[in-house]
Structure 1
Amino acid sequence: MTNPIGVHALVWAGDTSAPSVRRVVAETAAAGYDLVEFSLHDSLNLDTGETRRELERAGLGVACSRGLAFDADVSSDDPAVVSRGAALLRDSLRVTHELGGTVLTGALYSALGKYGAPLTPAGRANVVSVLTELAGEAARLGMTLGLEICNRYETNVINTARDALRLADDIGADNVFVHLDTYHMNIEEDDLVRPVYQVGDRLGYVHIGENHRGYLGSGHLDFGAFFHALADIRYGGPITFESFSSAVVSAGLTGDLAIWRNLWSDGADLARHARAFIAGQLAASDPRQS
């Protein structure tokens, strides 16, 4: 497999100001990655033209991700709240396209936070309606949308691979894929293997994160089994390392993601270790080596 190996920009910087973007791009390239993922929570400060030029000069690919907000939530029953969420998604698609990216993924279907009640039928219908329209717009731009499966404390819309497949089926668009994240899978799935087989060729993006979101291999996740499952389904898409520290992430996101303790302080060391770890797992699961 020749999977692009990516790293989340929040390993390096908590915002997308011009100096931060220059640092993100330079550090990502220096650590040997193929791709950088930008969270669009700070997109108002992002100079898309200059960022695209920086990425092209460094020879890096780009993907974008985001979650919504409770006052701009497409899973709401309130039409005004849904409308604001839909506008945020359209803007995020535009930003991703301007950066030269073809992948917009994340919790595109809800706010990122703990809900106090289950998703309503009306709320789910709103998700399907908005994402069906967004998928059509993305298709016209040659882009794909990812449904990142998040845990129950961050969304009430999709928490398992089966949930995501049902939602993707209801959207019914060929350019909507499933996005697995080992951190969330550890909370919600029975193991790290069966969801990979369930999703199969509808898998379009992968986040690699430890059970505590620290250094890869320092927790209890069975990454060997996960990477062998990816090899079995011949997954060739991006594999992006994701980890957060409140030393880097903004105060708002620190609260949203519940980063109450720091498991690392040196982003460069963390990223180099993760790059080597992922490459090692890919090599070990390569059937040509057996």
Structure 2
Amino acid sequence: MKFGICTSNFDKADLLKDLGYDYLEFSLAGVMSMTDIQFKDLLNSSERSPLKVEAFNSFVRTLKVVGDGVDWVALKDYVKAAMERANALGGKIVVFGSAGARNVPEGYPREKAWNQIADFLRMAGDEAAKYGIYIAIENLNKNESNILNTVEEGLNMVKSVGHSNVKVLADYYHMAVENEGFDAIIKADSNLVHTHIASGTNRTYPSEKDKDRYDLFFDALKDINYNGRVSIEARLTDESDYANAIKVLKRYV
């Protein structure tokens, strides 16, 4: 397995590399908000960095995927440009969490919302496939999203979409909040292409003091021979979190 950090820049890349991290995960919406000049500077920074950006979260931030006012042309243009930039930085995974884009408006038909998300993911899958990128559907707990709250629900969406480049993600924190069993990971099997992790109680970096069952999480990953990426997506309390977290997580692999 490879371990990474969700961050917004390359500032700590040397430190993280020395500690044993393998890659970085950036916000794709953040990258897309950059001007061409700013993005060129980011590419230059990437070339100098000992860690590369292999995954992206925050796929869609301002556009809507669900609802009556979906601008399909704008969505397609955005996704096309987003995949181009993700590929230029070396990305292999784009996470579809994007609660604000996918949340179902009050009173809106859920079946219609489900189909809109599926249509969006097929289109995104087509664009991602051009670069060998996978779209990973993120399970977000009900406090953050009103649809696709579990890994199993994400897997159902994968089946609805039916695209080879649209798979599922397992986020430990959201699984803990939703009290979802880790057997969902085993059900996902080869459809699982990415993972996120943080303490299930306060979303901080994993530590020795946690009462979380990281062992069960990693046991499930081992059961399906998962050899992909594990990104820490958590609230940083102190820079020492970086070192402590990687020590904790590497015990399980």
Q: Please indicate, yes or no, whether the TM-score normalized by the shorter chain is above 0.5.
A: yes
| CA distance 1:129–1:233, shift in 2 (3 Å) | same
CA distance in 2, matches of 1:148, 1:38: 15
**1:105 and 2:86 correspond:** no
**1:29 and 2:17 correspond:** yes
Q: Secondary structure at the match of 1:79?
A: coil
Q: Map 1:27-176 to 2 at 5 A.
A: 27-43=15-31, 44-45=33-34, 47-62=38-53, 63-69=55-61, 72-80=63-71, 83-107=73-97, 111=101, 116=106, 120-176=110-166
Instruction: Confirm or deny: 8 A CA contact 2:13 2:49 kept in the other structure.
Output: yes
Q: Residues 165-219 of structure 1: CA distance to partner in whole angstroms, max 9, x if unpaired?
A: 111111111111111111100122433x211111111110010110111131433
**Unaligned stretches of 5+ residues in structure 1:** 10-15, 246-263, 283-290
Instruction: Confirm or deny: 8 A CA contact 1:204 1:237 kept in the other structure.
Output: yes
CA distance in 2, matches of 1:83, 1:210: 39
Q: Secondary structure at the match of 1:111?
A: helix
Q: Map 1:117-266 to 2 at 5 A.
A: 120-191=110-181, 193-211=182-200, 212-217=202-207, 218-244=209-235, 264=237, 266=238
Instruction: Confirm or deny: 8 A CA contact 1:67 1:112 kept in the other structure.
Output: no
CA distance in 2, matches of 1:142, 1:67: 17
| CA distance 1:241–1:104, shift in 2 (3 Å) | same
| CA distance 1:88–1:139, shift in 2 (3 Å) | same
TM-score (norm 2): 0.86
CA distance in 2, matches of 1:171, 1:149: 16
| CA distance 1:114–1:183, shift in 2 (3 Å) | farther
Instruction: Confirm or deny: 8 A CA contact 1:74 1:127 kept in the other structure.
Output: yes
Identity %: 23
Q: Secondary structure at the match of 1:216?
A: coil
CA distance in 1, matches of 2:75, 2:179: 28
Number of residue pairs the alignment of both structures matches? 247
Shift of 1:93: 1.9
Shift of 1:128: 1.2
Q: Residues 99-144 of structure 1: CA distance to partner in whole angstroms, max 9, x if unpaired?
A: 1212111315753779656762222221111210111111122211
Cα RMSD, aligned residues only = 2.5
| CA distance 1:119–1:167, shift in 2 (3 Å) | farther
Instruction: Confirm or deny: 8 A CA contact 2:67 2:104 kept in the other structure.
Output: no
Instruction: Confirm or deny: 8 A CA contact 1:75 1:119 kept in the other structure.
Output: no
CA distance in 1, matches of 2:45, 2:122: 33
AA aligned to 2:217 is: F
| CA distance 1:243–1:113, shift in 2 (3 Å) | farther
CA distance in 2, matches of 1:41, 1:48: 12
Q: Which residue in the other structure is 2:240 paired with?
A: 269
Instruction: Confirm or deny: 8 A CA contact 1:73 1:110 kept in the other structure.
Output: yes
